[in-house]
Structure 1
Amino acid sequence: MSETPERDSGPTEPGEGQLSGTDAGSTGPARADADTAAAAPARAESLTDLLGGRRGAIDATLPPLAFAVGWLLGGESLWGGVGAALAVGAVVAGVRLRRGDRPRSVLIGLLAVCVAALVAVRTGRAEDFFLIQVLSNAASALAWTVSIVVRWPLLGVLVGAVLGQRARWRRDPVLLRGYGRASWVWAATYLLRVAVFVPLYLGGQVLALVVARVALTWPLVAAALALSWVVLRRSLPAGHPGLRHPVAPPR
């Protein structure tokens, strides 16, 4: 049930598409073609390429949808909804494992469905199936905000981990500032979910919670990936080598 972007495939190699020293001295059409080929990967690569998140976000909406269907078909039966959500959650986990997703990520997603079902069964209230979702989004909004304030923006942490940079990106003041600005986009998405989910949860609006859960998962993740990428790119001055090549200031 996580909405944090997940990496689907490996990034291109850091040196891929770069000119060698001998190429840099060439002239004419061959040089122009080489420059074009070198620039193409940098233009094409985005946060969506690096972090993925499409399939994970879509998969996360299936158990809540199944819960709503089972709940309605069972005459608003809590057990019908829980049973349907658990069955679909198990199928989604199996499919994800088969297509090569990381086992830990798959198990976390399945565990989230199980915990949500357990909470609803214990309280006897269908809307409590979404309580974990409400709390996790509130915690995520706080975590992203704090990370920006303490100058460890989570977007930088995620991208840095994917690129194998560890904390090298933090030594580049331009990247640090850019990741901080772009991280506000993600903090805003979690705050938006909390603002929508909490009134619906308090009002016991089960079907509305399902609709909001679907509408504010993949579409919102896609929008956040695109917008945060725009913010990040505009934060980098002309001539900066990009995310893969942090520039540490001279000592």
Structure 2
Amino acid sequence: MVQAGGVSTSTDSLADLLGGRRGALDATVPPVAFALGWLLSGQVIGWGAGAAVVAAGAVAVWRTSRGEKVTAVLGGLAAVVVGALVALYTGRAEDFFLLQLLSNTASALAWALSTLVRWPFLGIVVGLLLRQRTRWRKDPDLLRAYCRTSWVWTATYVLRVVVFGLLWWSGQVVALTVARVALSWPLVALAVGISAWLVPRSLPADHPGFLHPRVPGEQRPEGGGPAAG
């Protein structure tokens, strides 16, 4: 854990903000419940859909009791309900995962576009965590490092799209469930680890680090702390 301008942050915070452990239950429990309900009922989609919604409701209650934001909790619940309704409507169990396939496709495109226009999402997220506003973008070296590292995150979404897409196309419900679990928190943790390694190595040797954006024409305060932004 590090300190930046009186604000405590860590790679755990980054992981949570980008869909890490806080979203792990949403990513794992409802899909597993769907697959179990579907299998144990003799592949009846209604049972799988019902099990998923009940499981998502239980997760929502648990998350709310822990003081998590209601909007985030309801968002996770709504995604499960929509997935269940889609599967019921089409009569294809694999369509329960269609929303995830589409959302990851949109995320892959958004991350790639943000990097191409030099407003990398990784810089935005880290800047938000550190309360740096957009000072990081005024540092050419730091901007380049965030752009380079944002491609790692883009790759995670592309990987999900490829895996989910192939399994969805072939109707592999159980394999989709396994992939949904494996490519949630573990993949986010891997991306955070790579980012923590890659960002400092993408900066010049004399750079003070991502905690201290080096803005041209800005005088650093005494003690080496970050300038007010």
TM range (shorter): 0.7 to 0.9
Is residue 250 from structure 1 mapped to residue 217 from structure 2 by the alignment? yes
8 Å Cα contact 1:64-1:85 kept in structure 2: yes
Q: State the one-letter code of the partner of 1:75.
A: G
- Aligned residue among 92, 101, 104 for 2:71: 104
Distance in 2, matches of 1:75 and 1:220, equals 32
Please tell me whether Structure 1 or Structure 2 has the larger radius of gyration of its CA atoms: 1
Residue 162 and residue 89 in structure 1: after superposition, are their counterparts in 2 closer, same or farther (change >3 A)?
same
Provide runs of 4+ in structure 1 moved above 4 Å: 10-13
Aligned mate of 1:179, from 135, 146, 153: 146
Aligned residues of 2:104 and 2:158 also touching (Cα < 8 A): yes
Q: Amino acid of the residue matched to residue 48 of structure 1?
A: D
Shift of 1:76: 0.4
Query: Do structure 1's residue 14 and structure 2's residue 5 form an aligned pair?
Result: yes
Out of 108, 111, 128, the residue aligned to residue 141 of structure 1 is 108
Identity of aligned residues (%): 58
Q: Which of 168, 174, 198 matches 1:207?
A: 174
- Whether 1:190 and 2:154 are equivalent positions in the alignment is no
Is 1:219 matched with 2:219?
Answer: no
Amino acid at match of 1:192: L
For the aligned residues, what is the CA RMSD? Answer: 2.0
Deviations 1:150-188 (Å, cap 9, x if unpaired)? 000011111111222221211111111111111110000
Scaled by the length of structure 2, the TM-score of the pair is 0.87
Single out whichever of 74-83 and 162-171 deviates more from structure 2. 162-171
CA 1:126–1:11: 2 relative to 1, 3 Å: farther
SS at 2:151 equivalent: helix
Is 1:134–1:194's contact at 8 Å kept on the other side of the alignment?
yes
| Cα distance in structure 2, aligned partners of 1:238 and 1:95 | 46
Distance 1:231 1:62 in 2: 32
Cα deviation 1:63-95 (Å, max 9, x = unaligned): 000000110111101011000000010111111
CA distance in 2, matches of 1:188, 1:14: 32
Q: Match for residue 113 of structure 1?
A: 80
Matched with 1:86 is: 53
TM-score of the superposed pair, with normalisation by structure 1: 0.80
Q: For 2:205, which of 208, 232, 238 is the aligned residue?
A: 238
Amino acid in the other structure paired with 2:152:
V
**Aligned residue pair count:** 215
Corresponding residue number in structure 2 for 1:34: none
- Secondary structure, counterpart of 1:249 in structure 2: coil
> In structure 2, which of residues 5, 8, 12 is the aligned counterpart of residue 48 of structure 1?
12
SS in 2 for 1:233: helix
| Aligned-partner residue type, residue 125 of structure 2 | L
The aligned residue for residue 29 of structure 2 is 62
Q: CA deviation at 1:245?
A: 2.2
